[in-house]
Every structure is written in structure tokens, then in C-alpha cells.
Structure 1
Amino acid sequence: MNIDPAYFTWYELLTTDMAAATKFYRDVVGWSALPSSTSRVPYTLFKAGDHATAGLLELPPEGLKMGARPRWMGYVGVKHVDAAADQIRRLGGAVYVPPTDSNIGRISVVTDSEGALFAVIGQPQVAVQQPEDSAKPGRFGWNELFATDLQKQSTFYREVLAWQRDDTEDRFANAYLTFSAGGQIVAGALKNSDPTPPFWLFYVNVEDIDAAVERVSAAGGRAGYNDAELPGGVRIAYCSDPQGATFALQGKRSHKQQVGWTTEWQEFSSRGQLVAPKSPAKK
């Protein structure tokens, strides 16, 4: 298939409370919010500075009836949305929203062959994120698939998106790999040993991870540090917003590191400090 560009270009939050979610991410990440006038349903653009970085919309009632819960969803740019949807079906994935023209471009909401939800987008009508933007504060800096069978999923994404598999160090070869497109690393995949169904997790860049985690807690969300330090001194925090949508933050630490402990928290098994939510301040 002729695919261009095969990287995550847009992100959307489907939630049960748009007003509360707008306030939460404005307080935590610093995004501004601008209602869209081109959508047939209420739609908000989150902006990092002058750049639109994500969309926000209400979780459809039919989705709630089917058991859907608030979540972040990433869009991968493709040249031919209809062909990509057909290929996904042939490879054992599902098509939840067939190819449709929307306010952000031609889209299709799909799952991979293990059920991890994502979307494909072609002819985007929004200023999509380019790979070189992924290091900027307020932008999405990393995309990570939690999968049961890494070999199976690497084959799926290679066939659908032409992603190439890049193995990590030998000791992690069976537990983690990265995907590349056009010579650029675009995503990672982690072997998920938990009973949680496979899913995509998206990371937002922040300048100060400790301050951002405190803001998550103060705004009524949850956050737990990962104890691993990435190159450049970057740390990760796994988070959920008050409506239950999971996401991650990444940035450098400013506070003195505290001694952590192992804890099970929602979908994630992490070593570190678990930060419980605080009651929202009364107005």
C-alpha cells in the first residue's frame, strides 16, 4: 500500500464531560481551548501556544451503550483511508467507524488484530503534528502500544502502515520494540502481561514532570511515577483524568527523587510514587 505519512498526526479525547475535561487539561498541560465552528457536533480544539494539538468531543451515546469509556485516541496519517480500512479488516482488525468525511478530514476508527483502538486519517483539514514537533512542550512526544503478542502486532502494523520493526537491546527483545516509518521512530510497543486489553497510550511533553504530577492530583486526576529515567533525564508519569481517560506525561524532574515502591495502579504496573487525587477546590 502507498502510505504517506504513516505516523501519528492527530489526537482526540472522547469524554463524558467536555467542560470538566477542558478545565483539567488547561490546568495540567497549559493547553488553551477553542470551540470549533466547522463540526456538526460540539468539538473543541486544544492548542499548545498557537498550534492546535488535539481535539475534544463528547463520547457518543451509542458508544456508551456498547461499554465505551473516556479515552484518548490517536490518528495515523494515510494516503487512502478506505484502502487502509479494508486492509485492517482482512488482517483481523475491526472497523468501528467506516471511512467518513469529517471536520478534521477523511477518517476511520479501527482496532488492530488484538483490539487496540486507533484511527486513520487522510486529507486532514487541521494542522497536524509533524514528527519534528514531538519534542516541544505541550505536544505529544511518544506513542506506545500495550500488546499481548509483539510479533503478531509488528506484522499487523507493517502490513497496514508499512511500519518497520526495530528491536531494542537483546534483554528487552521479547518485551519491547519500536516502529519506524521513513527512517524515523514513530512508536513503541510493550508486551503487556496484565489482563488489561491491549491499548494505545499517548505521552504529552511537560517542562517539569513533578509540577505537572502535582497539578494532575490537584485537578482530581491520578498519576504514578515510573522509576526508569530516559535519556536526557526525562521521567514518565502514568495518569488518568477525572473522567477516567488514561494518558502519560514526560519531562524532567525538578524535585528531589523520593524512594519509591512497587504498586499496581489501573492498567499500569510501575515502581514509584503513587499520587492520589485531591478533592477539587470549591469555587
Structure 2
Amino acid sequence: MPTPTDIANGAPVWLDLQSSDTARSIEFYSGLLGWTHETAGAEFNDYVTFSKNGHRVAGMVANRSGTPDLWTVYLKTADAEATATAIVQHGGQVFFSHAVPGLGTMVGLADPSGAQLGAWQPGGHSGFDLVNEASAPVWHELHATDYDGALEFYRDAFGWTTTTMSDTPDFRMSTFSAGGDPLAGIFDATGSLAAGQTARWMPYFGVEDADAAASVVTGLGGTQLDPVTDSPFGRMTHLEDSTGAPLTIIQVG
């Protein structure tokens, strides 16, 4: 797929892994998704960029906070300062906001329910080079503990227009779009998160064969959380990588 050049404001534009063991994470994603990596210098905190066939797909930074490892999704903004203000006004938290020289401006935040994410105002780094293919990000979904509150926050802070996909007691889900295909989703996870788990963003990565990909997870140090199952969108399974960060793989193509 060509490099995405028209990512809408409010849509996922990048994601990176906070890893407590970057060497183990490199081994895991190299084995599972065939990623290569490049490490920036100390001036960029040794930031790792993952690529597939020369196309940027994700990043990674060392997690020294003592909190569980996770993937952070960044939503595109045209004005990082205004977005940071809106986040606070609508009940979220802003942890930092700073320019990355030559690349863009980053905002680290949490929504009102505590789900960690980021906002990115592109400069020299426009975001994903590859999406919606095997070994690339294909979907981004908030597993919400306050579904109605999440809908309100993302509409107000990021300008989302949402569409209800399902609103039954067993399955509540809405999607965000910008005049075309859905770009991200909010899922009511109150009945599915384990005790003690907080709201979180879940990345979905494409694979050519979900069963084959799942078969190597344990050998790479990860954990397969449920069987590979069919869904309306492709065969899929939920995982934890080799340092415990949650993700989902889904068959594409």
C-alpha cells in the first residue's frame, strides 16, 4: 500500500511501544512480524523505529517508569497546543507537550478513564509509512471502562464524529471516521477486562496467516490469550508480547 498521505486530524497517525526490555521486544516483533529496526542517538533517547521492507510501521522507547509495558497510540493534531488545552478542559490529563526537533510536536496524555495515548502534530515525521497490510498496523481500538464518557471525550477533545456500530447489552461499539472508512473504535470493555485492568488502547497488526503467526508466539516469549477465532473482519487472536504489552493480530489479505 502506498505511504498514507492524507491521515485525518483525530485519526491514529503513529504508535510506539514502551518496553522494559527493548532487546527482547526487538526479538519478539522481528520474529512475529518480520520487522527490522533502527535506533536513533542519545539525543532522541535511543528511540527505536520499526520498519517492514523499508517502510516505517511503529516505534519503541525504553520503559523505565515501573508501570506495565504497553503500546501508545498517537492521534493526529494540526495544533498540539490547542489539543493539549482541550484535553484538560474535557477531563483528561496532559503529562508533557514538547517539540521533537525536525520531526513534530508530541503530547503525552491520558483520557478521563486513565487510558494512555498521545497526540502528534507532524513535522518531518508524518507518521505511518505502511498501514492495512500484513506486518503493519490495521486498526486501533480503545477498550473503555466508561464507554459513554469516552465517546464524549474523544468527540470534544479530538473532534471525532462517531457512528454506533452496535449498542446491545453484550456488545457496545462505536467507530470514528472522517468521511470514509472507520479509522478507530471505542469498545465497551467493562465486561471483558480482567480484574484490576484499566482502560487501554489496543493496536491490531495484520498477518498473512493468523494461525501460523499464533503458533510462534510462545516460542518468542509471548502469550496467546485466547484461541484464534473467526470474526467479521478476519481471523484473530489477542496476545501479550514478550514483556507483557497487549496487542492483537488479525489476518488480512
Measured against the shorter chain, the TM-score band is 0.7 to 0.9
- In the other structure, the counterpart of 1:247 is 247
Partner of 1:231: 232
Whether 1:114 and 2:118 are equivalent positions in the alignment is: no
Q: Deviation of residue 121 (structure 1)? A: 0.5
- Cα distance in 2 for partners of 1:242, 1:135 equals 24
**% identity of equivalent residues:** 25
Q: Tell me the equivalent position of 1:100.
A: 98
Per-residue CA deviation, residues 164-203 of structure 1 (Å, 9 max, x unaligned), is 1111245479621212224331111111223421110000
1:165 matched to 2:162 = yes
How many Å apart are 1:20 and its aligned residue? Answer: 1.2
Unaligned stretches of 5+ residues in structure 2: 1-6
| Structure 1 position 225, deviation (Å) | 3.6
Query: Match for residue 274 of structure 1?
Result: none
Compared CA separation, residues 83 and 247, structure 1 to 2 (3 A): same
Alpha-carbon offset, residue 238 of structure 1: 0.7
Instruction: Mark the CA change 1:84 to 1:50 in structure 2 (over 3 Å): closer, same or farther.
Output: same
Output the CA distance in 2 between the equivalents of 1:148 and 1:13. 22
Contact 1:238/1:246 (<8 A) preserved:
yes
Structure 1 stretches (4+) deviating beyond 6 angstroms?
A: none
Query: Residue 138 of structure 1: CA displacement?
Result: 1.2
Structure with more relative contact order (C-alpha pairs < 8 Å, separation 6 or more): 2
Partners of 2:126 and 2:12 in 1: how far apart?
A: 13
Deviation for aligned residue 1:231: 3.3
User: What RMSD, in angstroms, separates the aligned Cα atoms of the two structures?
Assistant: 2.3
Between structure 1 and structure 2, the one with the greater Rg is 1
- Mapped to 2, the partners of 1:170 and 1:227 lie a distance apart of 25
In the TM superposition, residue 30 of structure 1 has moved relative to its aligned partner by 0.6
Contact map agreement 2:21 2:62 (CA 8 A) in 1? yes
SS state of the match for residue 175, structure 1?
strand
For 1:93, the aligned partner's letter is G
User: Letter of the aligned partner of 1:214 in structure 2?
Assistant: S
* Equivalenced residues, count: 242
1:171-210, aligned counterparts within 5 Å? 171=168, 175-193=172-190, 194=193, 195=195, 196-210=197-211
SS at match of 1:114: coil
Query: Secondary structure at 1:215's aligned position in 2?
Result: coil
